[in-house]
Amino acid sequence: MTSLPKTFLNIPNNNIAIRLDRLSKTYKAHGQSNPKNALNNVNLEIPVGCIFGLLGPNGAGKSTLINILAGTVIKSSGGVTVWGEDLDKNPRQCRANIGIVPQELNIDVFLTPHESLEFTAGMYNIPHHERQTKEILEMVGLTEQSHAYARTLSGGMRRRMLVAKAMVHSPPILILDEPTAGVDVALRQKLWDSVRSLNDSGVTIVLTTHYLEEAEQLCNHVAILNKGEVMVSKTKADLLRSAGRKDLNVTIPENQRNQPLPNDIEVLNPIITSNGFTIRFNPERSSSGEILKKIGNAGIQIIDVSTYQPDLEDIFIDLTS
């Protein structure tokens, strides 16, 4: 793996790559009486260097948020700061700090990846000696396909081609809107590898997704957007911890199943199951070991145990349903 030679100077003092301050967007549809509130006072801070997952069901406002950053949607109110630059005062510099990978696979099928990147570099007026066409193609795993016509590339390769194009002007931030939509499962992993490589070389990554698995595997910071509002924004580890519940499933012998549970376990909210019971507890206040000890002390024989901790999907459903 190569890293892009250009390092990102001028990291913002507060270490915040993107800051949204009460950002709102109302779409005023022509001929329609009720305008659509797509974003409602969104406050968000995206730290430098993270892989940030913006999650939310369809219609949550994810693309609206991305498109405001890309400059294709005009915000209604609120502030946006990108890499320390204010979007209202310095829109060009804001754009220069972002590479956007759109959801649609709009690539020129008559160009090879190499030609396409050179063409894009020309549009940015990047002098030949500063271009990093080879390095970028290597980063996204398209070295072998450098001179193959784009029409021969698979869906996953085309997506990585778009990542390459977004990186031509060496932005410190890369934004991907639903990067693996339409990319088959086997090729998703390759795309994630490219994203991780870019992040390792210092690029701050923001991606929207409604595949929770993607966020679970790739992101270290997650925000959940629902109906234009941020429900939560935390590191993934904090978010998983904050669910505040864990289930301990205990299998006990048949002849002990119908007797009442000891009182000190009753406190922990046990549910009787067909082969024993399930105890839901707060992992910050108790532990499986502690509970199993109480069960043992009460003379109940333990045949088998398993635990279940909520994953991102459970938390997502809790917050958006």
Grouping H, G, I as helix, E, B as strand and the rest as coil, residue 179 is coil
Mask for 34-73, x = binds ligand ADP (CB under 6 A): --x-x-----------------x-xxxxxxx---------
Residue 60: name its binding partner from Mg ion, ligand ADP, none (Cβ under 5 to 8 Å by kind). ligand ADP
- Size of residue set near Mg ion by CB under 5 A: 2
Site for ligand ADP in 147-166 (CB under 6 A): none
Q: What is the DSSP string of 256-300?
A: GTTSPPPHHHHTT-EEEETTEEEEEE-TTT--HHHHHHHHHHTTP
Nearer Cβ to ligand ADP (175/291): 175
Residue nearest to Mg ion (CB): 63
Could you tell me the smallest distance in angstroms from the CB atom of residue 22 to ligand ADP? 17
Both tokens of residue 91?
């829109």
Strands (E), 102-258: 173-177, 204-209, 221-226, 229-235, 246-251
Which residues, 6 or more positions from 215, have their beta carbon under 8 angstroms from its beta carbon?
53, 55, 209, 222, 236, 312
- Report if residue 27 touches ligand ADP, rule: CB under 6 A: yes
38, 55, 63, 221: which one binds Mg ion (CB under 5 A): 63
Q: Site mask, ligand ADP, residues 95-114, x = CB under 6 A?
A: --------------------
Place of tokens 């904050």: 242
Which positions from 254 through 293 interact with ligand ADP, judged by CB under 6 A?
Answer: none
Shortest Å, Cβ 73 to Mg ion? 12
Least separation in angstroms between residue 58's CB and ligand ADP is: 4
Task: Please say which residue, 30 or 89, places its beta carbon nearer to ligand ADP.
Answer: 30
Identify what 64 binds: Mg ion, ligand ADP, none; CB under 5 to 8 Å per kind: ligand ADP
Q: Is 34 helix (H, G, I), strand (E, B) or coil?
A: coil
Rounded CA separation 50/238 (Å): 15
For ligand ADP, the closer CB: 28 or 92:
28
The Cα angle at residue 138 between residues 136 and 144, in degrees rounded to 5: 125
Look up tokens 């209604």; give the residue: 76
Angle between helices 185-200 and 155-166 (to 10 degrees): 20
Binding site for Mg ion (CB under 5 A): 62-63
Binding site for ligand ADP (CB under 6 A): 27, 29, 36, 38, 56, 58-64
